[in-house]
């Protein structure tokens, strides 16, 4: 058994009120839909409690589905600094969960994900969701489209699988530290 022809990709859209996630299984060159869901965080007032839930849910998903790779939506800009800081923490916690299990992580900008799924970097959430529905043969879409954003990250990663330029990737803590020395000093 040389190369693994099957792999599972976990896609995460980390938010501070809702964390969307989706899982796909890749067999050869084909994708299969596994799961689509979201973690509601708005019921927790405390930001640290929300972060704890993001971490625990990500670990739970890893232990349940054993993903080979994680794709994460990571906007690198925002309307206000405070919300970006909170969002960055949510992303970091989800990444830490994956890194703690030595799962390679790739970050994609929302524009890059939309582009991969719909061919347009300015597509709406609805357009992305509809495209995913037809690509993966989903019977129905969730009422809330945050979970489809997580799934979109996974599908984007699948499409970028054979290309070199995929965004920022980390294979573990050591690689993360090496690529971010300026952030650690």
143 phi/psi in degrees, rounded to 5: -60, -40
Burial of 47 (0-12, 13-18, 19+ CB in 10 A): middle
**73: annotated active-site residue:** yes
Q: Is 165 labeled as catalytic in the residue annotation?
A: no
Tell whether residue 149 is among the known ligand binding residues. no
Query: Is 102 annotated to bind ligand?
Result: no
Whether 146 sits among the annotated catalytic residues: the reply is yes
Q: List the catalytic residue out of 38, 69, 73, 107.
A: 73
Q: Is 146 annotated as a binding residue?
A: yes
Please identify which of the residues 38, 69, 107, 146 carries the catalytic annotation: 146
| Catalytic pick among 13, 38, 69, 107 | 13
Backbone angles phi, psi at 34, to 5 degrees: -110, -60
Q: Which residues are catalytic?
A: 13, 73, 146
Binding residues for Mg(2+): 13, 73, 146
Binding residues: 13, 73, 146
């Amino acid at each position: 058994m040389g190369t693994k022809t099957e792999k599972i990709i976990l896609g995460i859209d980390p938010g501070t009120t809702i964390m969307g996630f989706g899982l796909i299984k890749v067999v050869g060159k084909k994708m299969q839909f596994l799961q689509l869901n979201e973690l509601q965080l708005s019921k927790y007032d405390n930001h640290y409690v929300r972060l704890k839930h993001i971490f625990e849910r990500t670990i739970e998903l890893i232990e349940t589905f054993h993903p080979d790779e994680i794709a994460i939506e990571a906007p690198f800009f925002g309307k206000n600094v405070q919300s970006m800081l909170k969002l960055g923490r949510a992303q970091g916690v989800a990444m830490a969960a994956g890194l703690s299990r030595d799962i390679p992580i790739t970050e994609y900008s929302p524009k890059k994900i939309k582009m991969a799924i719909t061919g347009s970097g300015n597509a709406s959430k609805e357009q992305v969701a509809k495209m995913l529905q037809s690509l993966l043969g989903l019977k129905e879409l969730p009422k809330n489209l945050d979970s489809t954003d997580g799934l979109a990250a996974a599908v984007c990663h699948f499409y970028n699988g054979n290309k070199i330029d995929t965004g920022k990737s980390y294979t573990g803590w050591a690689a993360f530290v090496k690529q971010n020395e300026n952030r650690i000093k």
